[in-house]
Amino acid sequence: MSNRTLAGAAVALAALAAVPALPFMSKYYLLLAFDALLFGAIAMSLDLLIGYTGLVSFGHAAFFGLGAYATAVCLERKIVSLWICLAAAVVVVGLYALLVSYFATARRGIYFALLTLIFAEVVYTFFRYTQTFGGSDGIQGVPAAELAPGVALDTPLKNYYLVLVFLALAWLTCRTLVGSHFGRVLVAIRENEDRARFLGYNVTRYKMGVCLVSALLTGVAGALYPGRSGFATPDLMLWTVSGEFIIMVMIGGLGTLVGPVIGGVFFVVLQEKVSSYVDWYFIVIGLVLVLIVLFMPKGLLGFRRVQGFAQWRSGQ
């Protein structure tokens, strides 16, 4: 990782850390900023699969929901330590991710996507109709987690800085991974899986590894969500949520890491602001997404790399 990259990351982190000091940052905007950064981190973790490995997952909502339920169950039972909640989420999501990746990575293309979707729908149905976890209502009104004894994460400001730290650690993890030999093999698999296998790489093992990393990052993000919302419901696992994650990645730019974070922020803010004005907000969002796909197929971050745009900037 170059010094320039680290310097850019440090500047971005400092700018985000200063966001709560802005004069208009009310509780509402802090909660919106929390959602934007959290879903941006999830989109970045999904980019490891879609952008770098060429695997489209329609099941990431299940990882997110399982992480949220792990935390909600712990908090409901008065286990308020954030670290225990995170550990529970890692174990639950990790075991589920190993199961899914074991079967799904044996397939390619649409079959991989369908298997991830099927597994996610099974998990959604289980929580939707199991009264032990609240059924369709889920687990409501959970208390705030504690960073340390007596230090409760009970304000939007505390939760904002928590998710900011998570985003920074997630980016560092993803950046280190894609810059390593492991990451180069993932790109080789994306470009030509048969050739990568011919060169002696255990393709299945590499795909399972990246699925596990992506799932765990998404699961940890889910584990942080009840601290902001106070609940965990089966709706967090809907296939439409997985679709939104994919849209975030596409908006920001495949294979860029930072692009999906931007895409996540853009999508969350756009959805929130448009829905506050019109009931048919999804039509407006759909039109915006169509325009992005048509005129910025490389995403918001990739747009700056288009030759014509570069020439326009230089005045040629």
- CATH at 124: 1.10.3470
What pLDDT is recorded for position 295? 81
What pLDDT is recorded for position 8? 80
Residue 11, domain member (yes or no): no
What pLDDT is recorded for position 279? 77
Phi-psi group of 201: left, alpha or beta (phi > 0 → left; psi -120 to 50 → alpha; rest → beta): beta
The total of structural domains in the chain comes to 1
Q: How far apart are the C-alpha atoms of 82 and 62, rounded to whole Å?
A: 21
Residue 174 in 3-state DSSP? helix
Local mean pLDDT, 10-residue blocks, the chain (316 residues)? 77 89 87 94 95 92 96 92 95 96 89 94 94 90 89 91 95 93 93 90 93 96 92 92 92 89 91 82 82 80 51 41
Residue 13, domain member (yes or no): no
Residue 17, domain member (yes or no): no
CA 222 to chain centre: 9
Residue 14, domain member (yes or no): no
Residue 89, domain member (yes or no): yes
Domain span holding position 118 = 27-314
> With contact defined as beta carbons under 8 Å apart, do 259 and 252 qualify?
yes
Amino acid, single-letter form, for residue 172:
L
Q: How far apart are the C-alpha atoms of 55 and 32, rounded to whole Å?
A: 30
Q: How far apart are the C-alpha atoms of 280 and 275, rounded to whole Å?
A: 7
> With contact defined as beta carbons under 8 Å apart, do 179 and 1 qualify?
yes
Q: How far apart are the C-alpha atoms of 309 and 132, rounded to whole Å?
A: 55
What pLDDT is recorded for position 302? 65
The residue to which tokens 């289980």 are assigned = 126
> With contact defined as beta carbons under 8 Å apart, do 30 and 44 qualify?
no
What pLDDT is recorded for position 304? 53
Q: Return the H-helix or E-strand segment holding 124.
A: helix 109-129
What pLDDT is recorded for position 127? 95
Residue 225, domain member (yes or no): yes
Residue 152 in 3-state DSSP? strand
